[in-house]
């Protein structure tokens, strides 16, 4: 493992709001581009590409992704970004639109280079103190936990907060989130995420080539992909399909290679769709180790994960579950290639 390098593991923040029905129609999507850019400068990242549809807007960032729905914001950033500093300005923008924060969820894995993280991300304790000070008092159902595993390099940090309404009306759409963190990527496959020497094309066009070359475009063929390639290496994409998003981020360098995949599903979906996506993702990267955090799903969903990965040579090394207000159950599984 390298002593220093780019931090691939993302920090992820999800904010849910409530408000009057006429305002909700566009809601947070009314935040103008200059205000978004100002918030992202506070976090130390910027917008490099974007796409939207009838349901939400998706932004590829210089460090990961931002999704804005009428009453929901999801932002995940890698590197040495200061993600939690986005809370105050997002709350300010929401209040100006007549929206009130009803729940919050913050998650992340283990940083590869924890000593490189700036305030307020130098430790989970510091992050929790910042969250407690940043969130309004009406979110009084709060819980924080570090879900362990048998792999020292993988554990799952979770903080949730919710008000009374969010606790009563928990997950009315029966959606779940799957967050996958992969390390020690296959070196040959990782080389596909490097710029070719002498190629003068822009990040958007090179990103599209990487999407096609690697098979990422086949993960969800019905979705629209917005991608970007970074110089000299690295790749990010957001996929949009109706009101669902997916996202991939790749740090391919030897010694600290990392890739993440995140998607949203429903308990009413065909389970074969999730299995097919998981298999495709693993085949694209062939990680030596990976973790899968499933939030808000039934037993049947996370049981599918191990069944999908086992035929690909990934053995489940640990499985732990914890329960959180408004977020429901969080199941954290770790896997390693049988060659290890």
Q: What are the pLDDT tens digits along the chain (340 aa)?
A: 455 789 989 999 999 999 876 566 799 999 999 999 999 999 999 999 999 999 999 999 999 999 999 999 999 999 999 999 999 999 999 999 999 999 999 999 999 999 999 999 999 999 999 999 999 999 999 999 999 998 888 999 999 999 987 777 666 568 899 999 999 999 999 999 998 765 667 788 999 999 999 999 999 999 999 999 999 999 999 999 999 999 999 999 999 999 999 999 987 888 889 999 999 999 999 999 999 999 986 667 778 888 899 999 999 999 999 999 888 899 999 999 986 5
Q: What pLDDT does residue 164 have?
A: 87
Query: What is the separation, in whole angstroms, between the first and last Cα of the chain?
Result: 15
Taking a C-beta distance cutoff of 8 angstroms, is the pair 193, 248 a contact?
Answer: no
Question: What gap in Å lies between CA 39 and CA 30, rounded to an integer?
Answer: 15
Closest CA to 262 of 242, 277, 243, 283: 277
**Which residues are catalytically annotated?**
64, 78, 236, 249
Taking a C-beta distance cutoff of 8 angstroms, is the pair 229, 193 a contact?
Answer: yes
Q: Tell me if 111 is assigned to a ligand binding site.
A: no
**Pair of tokens at residue 178:** 């799957």
Q: Over the Cα atoms of the chain, what is R_g?
A: 19
Q: Tell me if 184 is assigned to a ligand binding site.
A: no
Residues 6+ apart with CB under 8 A from 107: 12, 156, 157, 158, 159, 179, 293, 295
Which domains occur in the chain, in start order? 11-337 (3.60.90.10)
Q: Tell me if 63 is assigned to a ligand binding site.
A: yes
Closest CA to 259 of 229, 228, 220, 290: 290
Q: What pLDDT does residue 155 have?
A: 94
Q: Tell me if 56 is assigned to a ligand binding site.
A: no
3-state secondary structure of 44: coil
Per the listing, tokens 């963190």 go with 181
Q: Cα separations (Å) of 27 from 17, 18, 103, 320? A: 9, 10, 16, 37
**Region for residue 158 given its phi and psi (left: phi exceeds 0; alpha: psi -120 to 50; beta: otherwise):** beta
């Amino acid at each position: 493992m390298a002593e220093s390098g780019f931090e691939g593991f993302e920090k992820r923040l999800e904010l849910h709001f409530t408000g009057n029905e006429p305002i909700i129609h566009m809601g947070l999507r009314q935040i103008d581009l200059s205000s978004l850019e100002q918030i992202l400068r506070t976090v130390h990242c910027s917008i490099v590409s974007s796409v939207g549809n009838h349901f939400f807007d998706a932004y590829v960032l210089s460090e990961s992704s931002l999704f804005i729905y009428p009453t929901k914001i999801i932002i995940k950033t890698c590197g040495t970004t200061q993600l939690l500093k986005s809370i105050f300005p997002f709350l300010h923008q929401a209040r100006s639109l007549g929206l009130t924060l009803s729940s919050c969820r913050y998650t992340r894995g283990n940083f590869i280079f924890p000593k490189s993280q700036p305030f307020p991300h130098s430790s989970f304790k510091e992050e929790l103190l910042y969250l407690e000070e940043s969130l309004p008092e009406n979110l009084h159902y709060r819980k924080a936990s570090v879900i362990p595993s048998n792999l020292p390099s993988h554990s799952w940090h979770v903080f949730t907060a919710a008000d009374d309404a969010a606790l009563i009306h928990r997950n009315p759409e029966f959606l779940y989130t799957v967050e996958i963190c992969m390390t020690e990527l296959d070196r040959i496959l990782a080389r596909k995420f490097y710029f070719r020497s002498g190629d003068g094309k822009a990040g958007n066009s090179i990103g599209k080539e990487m999407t096609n070359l690697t098979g990422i475009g086949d993960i969800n063929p019905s979705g629209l992909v917005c991608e970007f390639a970074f110089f000299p290496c690295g790749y990010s994409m957001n996929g949009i399909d109706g009101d669902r998003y997916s996202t991939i981020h790749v740090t391919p360098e030897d010694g600290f290679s990392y890739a993440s995949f995140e998607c949203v599903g429903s308990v009413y979906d065909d389970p074969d769709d999730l299995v097919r996506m998981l298999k495709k993702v693993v085949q694209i990267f062939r990680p030596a180790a990976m973790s899968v955090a499933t939030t808000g799903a039934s037993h049947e969903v996370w049981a599918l994960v191990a069944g999908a990965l086992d035929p690909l040579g990934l053995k489940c090394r640990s499985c732990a579950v914890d329960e959180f207000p408004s977020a429901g159950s969080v199941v954290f599984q770790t896997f390693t290639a049988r060659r290890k």
